[in-house]
Structure 1
Amino acid sequence: MATPGCMLVLAEVKPELWADFNRWYSDIHMPEAVKRLRARKALRLVDRSTPCRHIAIYYFDDMEQFESETIRSELEALVREFNDQWREGVARERRFVDIIDEHVPVADL
């Protein structure tokens, strides 16, 4: 049975880079990452208490497929592209998590 999960990307962006980073991530990087990593969907969040703290969540239907050689090589390429674009001013980390429970509201009958 497939195990759904997510890749979380947590980034601290220098304030003077925020506008350019935000535009680049939304217009170029995230759409490309969704396509190349075969994510089901992705969300971007901003920490309300620290506006230059960026959080991206990429959803995958099957973490085993995500961990395949092909997808891992795409992730490595995306990381290199990110590093080329943002050599300094953006500190980040990635976390990989399994979804163990999900609830959606049930409409009242």
Structure 2
Amino acid sequence: MAAYLIVRAVVPEAEREKFDQWYQDVHLPDALAAFHAVSAWRGWSDDDPAVHFAFYEFPTLDEAKSVGDSDAMKTMRADFDQNWQDRVARTREYVEVAQSISN
């Protein structure tokens, strides 16, 4: 089953517009290519407008988790840290699809 690397970031209101533009134009496309993910998408929480989520899809959980310690992840984290330092806190989770249905 498919699996996802989910990145949750808490972005200060004063940084939101700049962060949104940077993630759209630079970070998401770069991460998609660097991680060799199947797809990537992102969005803002409706419950908390400071919370941004990015989703990276992989064919398997093992492939998703292999990104965690990869040189690609180290490079992407360094780029993120260079741009946002400690102003944007983030966490990462890996989720394996247990069930998928559609109409």
Structure 2 residue runs without a partner (length 5+)? none
Higher alpha-carbon Rg: 1
Q: Return the match for 2:52 from 46, 51, 54.
A: 54
Q: Return the match for 1:97 from 91, 95, 98.
A: 95
8 Å CA contact retained: 1:10, 1:54: yes
For residue 88 of structure 1, what is the aligned residue in structure 2?
86
Aligned: 1:39 with 2:37 = yes
Q: Deviations over 1:10-49 (max 9, x none)?
A: 0110100000000000100000000110111111121112
What is the count of residue pairs matched by the alignment? 102
Structure 1's consecutive aligned runs of 4 or more residues displaced over 4 angstroms after TM superposition are none
**Identity value in percent:** 25
Structure 1 residue runs without a partner (length 5+)? none
Q: Deviations over 1:37-89 (max 9, x none)?
A: 011111112111211210111110123234447x7210111111101110032
Distance 1:48 1:67 in 2: 28
Aligned: 1:18 with 2:16 = yes
Task: State the superposition RMSD in angstroms.
Answer: 1.6
CA pair 65-48 structure 1, distance change in 2 beyond 3 A: closer
